[in-house]
Structure 1
Amino acid sequence: MGPLMTNYSELFDLAGRRVLVVGAGSGIGRESALALAAHGAKVVCADRDAASAAATADLIGAAGEPAVLDVLDPNAVQAAAEQYADCAALVFTAATNVRKRIADYTLEEFDRVMNLNLRASFSLLQAFAPRMAANGGGSIIGFSSIRASVVEPGQSVYAASKAGLVQLARTAAAEFGPAGVRVNVIAPGVVETPLTAQIKDNPDWYGAYAAKSALGRWSRPEELAGAVVYLASDASTFVTGSVLTVDGGWTAVDGRFDPPA
C-alpha cells in the first residue's frame, strides 16, 4: 500500500471552522471576511462600528455573525476571546496613521497610533493565542505593512508600529508554535482604503505611489483576501513567523529611474 495522498482539492476548504475578523466593517477586513466565508468558514465580523459589522455580516448571509469590538479595551478583547474560544483563525486589520514629520508629532498622536496598531495587536495575541493553544492549534493573521521595512518622511510612528508588529508576531510564533498555533503577518503595499484617501485626493502623490510598484498601480482591498485565506487554511500548515508581502513588487524593485540598458 502506497503513502496516503493529500487531497489538494481541500487545501483551502474552511468548512466547519469559525474565523474572527477584527476590522471587518470596511476595506481589507471586509473583503477578507467575504473571502473566508466563500471558502466555507463561519465568520464573526467584528468592528468597533456596529452598523459596519452588521453590513458585512449581511453580505455574507447565514455564515456571517456581526460583533461589536473595541480592541483598545483589553477587557472587551478578553471577553471576545472567551466568547469565541473555538475560533480556528483570527484576522486583525484595524490600524490608523498620522502622517507628520517627527518634529511635528505630539505624544498624544504617538500614543494613538501605537495603541491601535501595536498595543491592541498585543492584547489580541495575549487573549486568543493561549485559547487556540488549548484547543490544539489555530492561525493568527495580523496586518503589517511595507513600512515595516521601507519608509518615507512622515511615517515614523506608523512604520515603527508595523515593524514592532512583525517582531511581536514572530515571538508569538515561537512561543505558541509547539502548541500548534501559527502566527503570521501580511504586508500590503498601497491599498485603496479609507486610510489612504488623503493620498488618493492628491493626483501627483497617488501617481507616484502607483509608479513605484512593478505593476504600475495601487492594489484593491480584495487583492489581499487571497493571502488571508491562504494563511487561515491548511494550504499554509507549515508557515509561521512569516511576513507575506503583497505589494505589487514595491519592496523588490528599486524603481526610481528606469535605465536605458
Structure 2
Amino acid sequence: MPPVATENVAPDAAKSDTSAPYLSTLPANDFSWQITLAEKVVAITGANRGIGLGIAEVCLANLATNVYSLDLMEPGEEFATLQKRYPNFQFIQTDVTSEESVEKAINHVVEATGRIDGLVANAGMTKHQPALKFERPELEQLFNLNVFGAYFCAQIAARKFIELGIKGSIVMTSSMTSYRPNRAAPSAPYGATKAAVRNMCHTLAMEWSKHGIRVNSISPGFVRTAMTYYVETAPDWDLKMQYYGGMPRLADPRELGGAYVYLLSDSSSYTSGIDIPIAGIVGAW
C-alpha cells in the first residue's frame, strides 16, 4: 500500500512540487557572520520621515550600498540632512497603493544598481477616533494603504527577487496594536490593518521560502513621529509614566533600526515568519 502522503495526489501536482528548485538561505561557507548590510540594496516605503527615515539611517550606518525611499510626499529637511551624510540615500516618488507605481520604482532601483536585496514595507497611516464614528471611506483608506499597499509591495519585490535569483528579505512594519488595544489612542480599524500585516507575513514566509525569500515583521510601540508627538502633551502623561512599568518615554525611530538591519542581513538567514515587538514594555498599558 503506498504511503498516505502520496495518495490522491495528482501526478502533475506532484511533479510540479519536486521540479521546483529550492533556494537555501544558508550563507556561503566563507560568510563572516557579521551583522551588516554591506553590498545590499534596500528599498523602504515611506522613508522620507518618521519610522521609515529612522530605519534608513540605521541601514546606512550599517554599510548598506544603497537605500531608496519609496514615498509619495516630497522629501523634507530631515531627508536632506540625512542625504548630506549619506549620498547613497535616494528618493523615488512612489504611490504604494498603485501596483504600477511600485513596480516602476522597483525596476528603477534594479536599473540603477543592478539588484535589490531587501524591501521594507513601512508606509502607513492611522486615524484615532471612537469606533462608532468610523465611516466606510475612512476604513477603505486605512486598509488600502496599510494592508493592500504592504501586500503588493511585497509581491512585486518577491517577483523581482525570483527573477534575479536573489535571496531577498522582506520586512513589514506592523504595530503593537496588532496584539492589543492602544488605550491611550484607540483605533480599531488601524489595529485590524496591522494585525493583517503581521498575520500575512507568516503565510508569505511559508510560501516563498523555497525561493530563498524571507518575510518578517516588526511591531513598534510608541515611537516619536509626526503621528504620535501629541501623546507626550496629554495632561495625564506624567501620571501614566509613573505607573507605566516600562520605559517611560517614546522611542526614537532609530531605536527600531537594529531589528530591521538584522532581518535584512544575511545573518538572519534562518529567521523567517516571525514578528519582533519593540515596545519598551508597552504591553503594560
TM-score scaled to structure 1, two decimals? Answer: 0.87
Query: Which amino acid is 1:29 matched to?
Result: G
Larger mean Cα displacement after TM superposition, 56-65 or 116-125? 56-65
Partner Cα separation in structure 2 for residue 167 and residue 148 of structure 1: 9
Q: CA RMSD in A?
A: 2.2
Partner of 1:119: 148
Partner Cα separation in structure 2 for residue 186 and residue 216 of structure 1: 21
Partner of 1:259: none
Partner of 2:181: 151
5 Å-filtered alignment, 1:70-109, equals 70-85=95-110, 86-109=115-138
Partner Cα separation in structure 1 for residue 138 and residue 241 of structure 2: 25
SS in 2 for 1:228: helix
SS in 2 for 1:212: coil
Q: Is the 8 A contact 1:210 1:217 kept in 2?
A: no
Q: 1:178 aligns with which of 179, 203, 210?
A: 210
Shift of 1:65: 1.9
Partner of 1:32: 55
Q: Is the 8 A contact 1:47 1:68 kept in 2?
A: yes
Query: Which amino acid is 1:111 matched to?
Result: E
5 Å-filtered alignment, 1:1-261, equals 7-8=32-33, 11-41=34-64, 42-52=66-76, 55=80, 58-85=83-110, 86-134=115-163, 135-152=165-182, 154-205=186-237, 208=240, 211-212=243-244, 214-251=246-283, 255=284
Q: Is the 8 A contact 1:45 1:56 kept in 2?
A: no
Greater RCO (CA < 8 Å, at least 6 residues apart): 2
Bigger-Rg structure (1/2): 2
Task: Spell out, residue by residue over 1:173-226, the C-alpha distance to the aligned partner (whole angstroms, 9 max, x if none).
Answer: 111111111111000111111111332332325752685352222211111111
Task: Spell out, residue by residue over 1:82-122, the C-alpha distance to the aligned partner (whole angstroms, 9 max, x if none).
Answer: 22342100112211111122211111111111111111001
Query: Which amino acid is 1:142 matched to?
Result: M
Query: Which amino acid is 2:167 matched to?
Result: G
SS in 2 for 1:130: helix
Query: Where does the alignment leave 5 or more consecutive residues of structure 2 unmatched?
Result: 1-28
4+ long deviations beyond 3 Å:
209-213
TM-score scaled to structure 2, two decimals? Answer: 0.80
Q: Is the 8 A contact 1:129 1:181 kept in 2?
A: yes
Partner Cα separation in structure 2 for residue 16 and residue 5 of structure 1: 16
SS in 1 for 2:90: strand
